[in-house]
Amino acid sequence: MKRTSKISRRSFLARGAALGGAAFLGGCDQLSQSPSFRDLLSKAEWLTKNVQRLILTERDLAREYTEADLSTHFKANGSTNVADPGYQALAQNGFSDWRLTIDGLVDRPASLSLADLRALPSRTQITRHDCVEGWSAIGKWTGTQMTPLLQSIGLKPEARYLVFHCADKLGSTSNYYESIDLIDAFHPQTILAYDMNNAPLTVPHGAPLRLRVERQLGYKHAKYIQRIEAVSSFAMIEGGGGGFWEDRGYAWYAGI
């Protein structure tokens, strides 16, 4: 059953490449303004979200691999550094002074250090990262499990989404951000990763913390996370699409 959803998404990628060629593979902003491309994304989002939510349970896992399957090269995509002086200072200090803020529609807002996160229940998984540009790579991730973290802070009844606010700008005046709903937030493979391939995350791969939401495409896996906000709607955040690329026409639900 999972194969049906994956074929649909890969068909979408192939059609996108035919429509946009190299521009599609670059994930460029110009293509995202194309009405035909936005229509294609909208149709692909409706198909993947509704099919996956219909035939998969909330606990179905993305395929996991072995150490022997690890890719020899895992491309660092999107932002590979952060120009913000505050972030640069934190990186120089090994992120010892960095803190993650969790607020919004929560009962107990939190400010957690990297050491705090490492002390919480964790999960290690070897999974395949599928990028909208058409490439894939297999990596090993270790990070804080979202479920016990969210249970510890308590979500208010009206909370429906988590918004991940990031330190990078990706050539824009506004910071990168992403969002997921609570179904994906409480999925057992959704983690806040601080290690990659048995070592702390590097800056190009999103240090000190990135999201891994394994049943969605790579642009959903926000890097350089500095704040998680629980909200009832993301309509009033930035462009209202629920994410940096979504505001530029990409599908909010990027299931694979």
> What pLDDT is recorded for position 39?
56
Domain spans of the chain, in order of start? 2-33, 62-248
CATH number at 62-248: 3.90.420.10
Instruction: Give the contacts of 65 (CB within 8 A, at least 6 positions apart).
Output: 126, 127, 128, 138
Alpha helices in 56-178 (DSSP H): 85-92, 114-118, 146-153
Nearest to 126 by CA among 223, 81, 173, 61: 61
Contact between 141 and 125 (Cβ < 8 Å): yes
Structure tokens belonging to residue 33: 């303004």
Amino acid 23: pLDDT: 39
Per-residue model confidence (pLDDT) at position 172: 87
What pLDDT is recorded for position 44?
Answer: 53
The pLDDT value given to residue 17 = 37
pLDDT of amino acid 19: 40
Structure confidence at residue 120 (pLDDT): 98
Instruction: Report how far apart, in Å, the C-alpha atoms of 15 and of each of 20, 27, 222 are.
Output: 9, 14, 25
Q: What is the pLDDT of residue 10?
A: 41
- The helix or strand, by DSSP H or E, that contains position 183, with its residue range, turns out to be helix 182-185
Flag whether the pTM goes above 0.75: yes
- Short-list 250, 86, 42, 76, CA closest to 175: 86
| Angle at alpha carbon of residue 32, lines to 6 and 19, rounded to 5° | 65
pLDDT along the chain (256 residues), means of 10: 41 40 40 50 53 58 97 96 96 97 98 98 98 96 98 98 97 94 96 98 98 96 98 96 96 91
Q: Rounding to the nearest 10 degrees, give the CA dihedral for residues 236, 242, 244, 245.
A: -130
CA atoms of 122 and 98, how far apart (whole Å): 19
Burial status of residue 63 (CB atoms within 10 A of its CB: 0-12, 13-18, 19 or more)? exposed
pLDDT at residue number 20: 39
